[in-house]
Amino acid sequence: MNINYKPYITRDPTICGGEPVVTGTRVTVRTVLASLAEGMDVEELLQDFPSLSHEAIPAVIAFAAISAEEDLPVSALPAVA
């Protein structure tokens, strides 16, 4: 399933120094990912950051996955004999 993260992620140089944030908030993608990595579940995350929505969490993860994919080096094509 492809998640359309674009409505949920914003990059604006005037908000949090241009770091990607959840649209309409000042909650950075980095903050959401770090909280999840530390073991926080979605309900705890929503309690700590009430400006987030349930839909924003998978969008953040999808954005991070696509961003990581873009940062991966492209493997060399095999030589043709």
pLDDT in the model for residue 73:
61
CB 6 within 8 A of CB 41: no
* Higher local confidence (pLDDT), 4 or 76: 4
If pLDDT is split at 50, 70 and 90, which confidence band does 18 have? very high
The domains of the chain are located at: 9-70
pLDDT in the model for residue 70:
67
pLDDT in the model for residue 42:
94
CB 12 within 8 A of CB 18: yes
- Give the predicted TM-score (pTM) of the model: 0.81
**CATH code for residues 9-70:** 1.10.10.10
pLDDT per position as a tens digit, 29-59: 999 999 999 999 999 999 999 999 999 999 9
